[in-house]
Amino acid sequence: MADQAEFLYPRSRYYGQVKPENLVFNANLQEFAQQVSYICNLETSGKLAPDEAYKKIQALWKQLKRSKKQLGIGDESFQGEE
């Protein structure tokens, strides 16, 4: 069953600066990309209406933005801490 999960939800290795918030955001970003890919494929095959696909992707984008804000990714206050 683990092989099936790896196949359906592949994860790439993270090469950036290793911080907990960066790792969590990277996982969220990869999940976003995977879900957008599925939605695009469903829309392309005619199994999902274009408006519905747009709404689903928009909701995923808002969720990713909220995650970024909660984790403090890109905040000016964190840029001096390297």
Query: What's the distance, CA 1 to chain centroid?
Result: 23
Question: How do residues 2-21 score in pLDDT, each as one tens digit?
Answer: 677 677 667 788 888 899 99
Collect all residues with Cβ–Cβ distance below 8 Å to 32 and sequence separation of at least 6.
60, 61, 63, 64
Question: How do residues 26-35 score in pLDDT, each as one tens digit?
Answer: 999 999 999 9
**E strand or H helix at 6:** helix 2-8
Alpha-carbon distance of 48 to 45, in angstroms, equals 8
pLDDT of residue 68: 96
Residue 80 φ then ψ, to 5°: -80, -10
pTM greater than 0.85: no
Site of tokens 């976003």: 32
What ranges do the domains of the chain cover?
Answer: 17-70
pLDDT of residue 60: 98
Question: How do residues 34-63 score in pLDDT, each as one tens digit?
Answer: 999 999 999 999 999 999 999 999 999 999
pLDDT of residue 1: 64
